[in-house]
Amino acid sequence: MQTIAENIYYDASYAGVTVAAITHPHGTLLIDSPLRSDEAHSWKSTLLTQSRGMHRLMVILDFHEDRTLGSRAIDFPIVAHEFTAEAFQERTTIFKGQNNERGAEWEHFPEVSGTRWERPNITFNEQIALNWGDSEICIEHHPGPTPGATWVHIPEKKILFIGDAVTPNQPPFLARANLEIWHETLNLLASRQYSDYTIISGRGGRINIDEVRDQRKFLKSIDGRLKTISNRNADPEETLKIVPALMNKISYPSKMENFFFQRLQFGLIEYYTRHFE
């Protein structure tokens, strides 16, 4: 567990996504959950030994399985954007773990199949604020990676938790994305407004402005290539031909090549089908 500022932490060591927590005098806010239930229990226990106040909430930064399957083990009320909450209505009550060639972290852990979804209890539209201590916590809507993608913003401390807005050293998840809106979100993140902020990605922890710019450039390349394919009225399977060139633009561990290749294949076909067909 890494300390960012007093009573503000993140941990990138658990399976799934980078999780975080804020322990204010009046309560504790968790940001996402470890994927596996045993690790979710461990994370919760670690925080309860130093938690303060009676209020307890968890915010999920989007609806991806990697960050939501462990929520039931945390057993805190869940805050999510209304579009994220709507996505849960499309799901069966129990996660069946099918279609496991999407390049998602949960595919490495077959034991998560059979998990019952924990649905959001509190939803918001643009922003919701918590005033549990000296520093206000703002939970904000910043779409692009998904329709309901969310940031947690602590203005006084100049800290941002941005979920999958930037995914360093790995390809992004594209299936439910909107690249044009995502580009606008990254323009905001790269602006002077956040130039001296500590920024925590939901896939790897602390990042810098160069990684924000790299993500923006990579998404622009994807968008241009997909539009070229669309101009030829090509089938979605044509997107598979651009995967090797896109992979060459990312620095990643060699052992993850096949896994990340699958992620891009699945995401490109889904994105093309949604936006161009």
Please spell the DSSP secondary structure of 174-202, one letter per residue. -TT--HHHHHHHHHHHTSGGGTT-EEEET
Q: What is the pLDDT of residue 48?
A: 80
pLDDT at 24: 83
d(CA 82, CA 88): 10
Q: Where are the beta strands (DSSP E) in 83-233?
A: 122-124, 127-130, 137-141, 150-154, 159-161, 198-201, 205-207
Going from N- to C-terminal start, the domains of the chain cover 2-275
Cut 0.95: pTM above it? no
Average pLDDT estimate for 104-130: 92
Q: Which 3 state secondary structure label does DSSP give 210?
A: helix
pLDDT of 45 over the 80 cut: yes
Task: Say which residues have a Cβ less than 8 Å from residue 35's Cβ, sequence separation at least 6.
Answer: 14, 15, 16, 17, 65, 66, 67, 69, 70, 105, 106, 109, 112
Q: What is 2-275's CATH number? A: 3.60.15.10
Q: Dihedrals φ, ψ of 273, to 5°? A: -65, -40
pLDDT tens by residue, 2-15: 999 988 999 999 99
Measure the CA–CA gap between 183 and 207, rounded to whole angstroms: 17
pLDDT band at 199 (very low <50, low <70, confident <90, very high): very high
**Residue (of 111, 73, 75) closest to 95 by Cα position:** 111
Please, are residues 275 and 229 in contact by the beta-carbon 8 Å criterion? no
Up-side HSE of residue 173: CA atoms within 13 Å toward CB? 21
Tens-place pLDDT, residues 160-191: 999 999 999 999 999 999 999 999 999 999 99
Q: Whole-angstrom Cα distance, residue 228 to residue 214? A: 21
Burial of 191 from C-beta contacts in 10 A (0-12 / 13-18 / 19+): exposed
Distance between CA atoms of residues 37 and 248, nearest Å: 35
Whether the predicted pLDDT of 27 surpasses 90 = no
E strand or H helix that includes residue 56: strand 55-59
pLDDT tier at 266, thresholds 50, 70, 90: very high
